[in-house]
Amino acid sequence: MSTSSAEEAAAGTQIGNYGRVALRVPAALAWTLALHYYLLARGLVGPRYWRTHRGIDVIGQWGAGLAYIMGVRIHKRNERNWPMGDVIISNHMGFLDVPILLSQFPSVFIIKAEMRKVFFFGKQLEREGHVFVDRGSKDSRLSAREGARRVLEEGDRLIVFPEGRASPGAKRRPFKKFCFFEAKRQGKLVEACVIDYLPDRSMLKWDVNRGMLPQLIELFGRPRTDVSIEFLPSELVDDPDEAAERYHDLIEGKLREYDREAGRESED
């Protein structure tokens, strides 16, 4: 291909990306706004339960709709045939993990405080009852722990990224143990799942050194994003320390297994 042809193809791709952003961002805003007003209306005219509890069923619908609008197609490696967990843990690759997991597990998230700054969506996440944490603030971490306890005590489901931040490779960061201790204290089921971006997760590497908004725009502009998810059976935790290490090794091992199946080296 000549240089001019390559430049024309690149320009056409860029125009297509901008076009998808122009369509998808308003669609995502409209979807979010519609469900927001639905929750408000349900709280006003519905049973008293909906005025005092988080609408995690609607949160799940929001996640599934947002994933679809962003062009995400989820491929399940297996089917769940056990009780859904109360504490959901997963590896963390990037922003898309949020709608992907919500589409499978209607839940409340522990989310980094930076997400509050995302135009419109940040406020909606806050209103839905998600728990925010600033990793650099001890007071924020303590507040997030109390918020997570309340979520579980009130009977809602909680999604946690026990690594604390996104890691693009197969190697996972050490898992923080709080969610396992709280699951044991309250007698809650823990369920893990493994997310992988296809065909090569490095193509969607989340760059913690770049701003969030440019990366979100890039995600909205992608023609399609294929993702696999594998579910692991839920269980009660007896030893939180052992569980944190075991789930870390299990999830990391699954990602390395996917790499071997795809004939690629695991990127650490």
**Which sign, positive or negative, has the C-alpha torsion 151, 147, 105, 41?**
positive
> Using DSSP, how many helices (H) and how many strands (E) does the chain show?
9, 8
Q: Is 239 helix (H, G, I), strand (E, B) or coil?
A: coil
Question: Is 121 within the bounds of a domain?
Answer: yes
pLDDT of residue 12: 46
Question: Is 267 within the bounds of a domain?
Answer: no
Contact 140, 133 (CB under 8 A): yes
In angstroms, the CA 50 to CA 41 distance is 10
β-pairing verdict for 108-112 and 131-133 = parallel
Domain span at residue 147?
3-262
Contact 148, 89 (CB under 8 A): no
User: In a 10 Å sphere around its CB, with 0-12 CB exposed, 13-18 middle and 19+ buried, how is residue 44 labelled?
Assistant: exposed
pLDDT of residue 113: 67
Domain count, the chain: 1
Question: Is 268 within the bounds of a domain?
Answer: no
Axis crossing angle, helix 138-153 with helix 178-186, rounded to the nearest 10 = 30
Name 155's Cβ contacts closer than 8 Å, sequence gap at least 6: 53
pLDDT of residue 118: 67
pLDDT of residue 6: 42
What does pLDDT average to in each consecutive run of 10 residues of the chain (268 residues)? 47 70 92 87 72 79 94 96 96 90 90 67 68 70 80 90 86 92 95 94 78 82 94 97 97 95 80
Residue listed under structure tokens 């405080």: 113
Query: Which of 197, 206, 169, 166 is closest to 74 using CA atoms?
Result: 197
In angstroms, the CA 114 to CA 134 distance is 8
Name 246's Cβ contacts closer than 8 Å, sequence gap at least 6: none
pLDDT of residue 263: 86
Provide the 8-state DSSP code for 159. E
Question: Is 54 within the bounds of a domain?
Answer: yes
pLDDT of residue 228: 96
In angstroms, the CA 130 to CA 231 distance is 23
Amino acid sitting at position 132: F
Contact 229, 74 (CB under 8 A): yes
β-pairing verdict for 87-90 and 235-236 = unpaired
CATH code for the domain in which residue 237 is found? 3.40.1130
In angstroms, the CA 252 to CA 92 distance is 11
Give Cα 30 to chain centroid, integer Å.
Answer: 20
pLDDT of residue 86: 96
